[in-house]
Amino acid sequence: MKKSKSWIHVCVHFLLFITLGVHSDRLNVNPVTNDIAKLSTLRQNIPKDYLIPLEYIPKEEAGMCWMKLNIFYLEESLVRLSEKFGNVSSNKENISIFIQILQEQRVHMQDLNDIMLDFECHYREERFDTNQYFDFIEDLLRAAQNKEDAHDCDVPPCPTSPYPPLIDEYSEESPTTSPPCPNDCNTSEQQRLLPEVVERSLLSLLFIPLLAIVFLLVWKVRSRRNQDDVQQNPAEEGLTGTEGTAPPLDTEISEK
């Protein structure tokens, strides 16, 4: 009887251990892994040919400090990108999630400012297309998740010539460049362009009656000139007729 009870206790404890272990595994799922899946949604909403500026250091120069050296400027780039969307945009909401993740990771980093100053000459600013940009974000988030970080960073020598800075923030050189959100973006730009279109159409409509008024004025001036000419011509003909019927002056003198 005692052996059976002991086996029952062992089975109960074993089942509780398995249940609690599975439950703890579900609770310890890294939120970064779940949020990385939202990058695919942003890829679909932003056109592929859209160029996004980013200041960064490549992996071959940053080494094991790549994640630490790029986390701050990536956060700034995401903030600028989120400002392109409206307040009720789902894209802005998803971007704000990644901004918060980067901020939480950056707060726990020690001596970040000193390391960034040591690598200051290696930063360069380039425009990334949509796929490259979100691949960069995914790589950095996975590096942060895997704790790929080093406290001591080997600083390579600075390049001989500094990297040229970008002139404008977002590229508008390509005619195929589209806004970052064709279906879910801020309509402030459209609202700004709408009055200009209406103004141009009104000006074109006003131009037509102005032409009609000018035409009428010219027609009236010409018609008045024709009437004056007609009135002057009969008067001149009457004067010439009376002068032709008057008797000659020499005959009158001879009769007298």
Give the integer Cα–Cα distance in Å for 251 and 253.
5
Digit-by-digit pLDDT tens for the chain (256 residues) are: 544 555 555 554 555 555 444 444 443 445 556 678 888 889 889 988 889 999 999 999 998 899 999 999 999 999 999 999 988 889 999 999 999 999 999 988 888 899 999 999 999 999 999 999 999 999 999 988 887 666 778 888 998 877 777 665 554 443 334 444 444 444 444 555 556 666 677 777 776 777 888 878 887 888 877 776 666 665 555 545 545 555 554 555 455 4
The confidence score (pLDDT) of residue 175 equals 35
pTM of the model: 0.55
Q: Which pLDDT belongs to residue 71?
A: 95
